[in-house]
Amino acid sequence: MILDIKERLGKTKYDIDKSYAHITVDDRICEKCPHHFCVMACPAQCYTMQDGKLNFQYEDCVECGTCSIACDQGSVKWNFPKAGKGVIYKYG
């Protein structure tokens, strides 16, 4: 019953906008970030640390907005996806 986060995200439906990332991060700011709290806060594991460097991907984003508050360094730029793209809940 206990599932890895990737497996759980696999249950959720998306229509990914391959041409537009609705969230962007500024690598230069992330490099100097003292906490990388986004890695803990994001419920969809969009933020991970790889070899001491922050890695971000928007494809699994469930559009909760948590990272826009978690990031207090001014790196995260948050917009809504366009034209209904992104997460599509079947239950909600």
- Residue 30 Cα distances to 17, 18, 49, 61, 67, angstroms: 24, 24, 11, 19, 13
x-or-dash string of contact with other proteins, 27-66, rule CB under 8 A: --------x-x-xxxxxxx----------------xxxxx
Using rule CB under 8 A, residue 77 touches other proteins = no
Using rule CB under 8 A, residue 23 touches other proteins = no
Q: Residue 66 burial by CB count (10 A; 0-12/13-18/19+): exposed, middle or buried? A: middle
Contact region for other proteins (CB under 8 A) — 24-32, 51-59, 84-92?
84-92
Can you read off the two tokens belonging to residue 21?
């990332």
Amino acid letter at 48?
Answer: T
Footprint on this chain of other proteins (rule: CB under 8 A) = 1-3, 5, 8-9, 11-13, 35, 37, 39-45, 62-66, 68-70, 78-84, 86-92
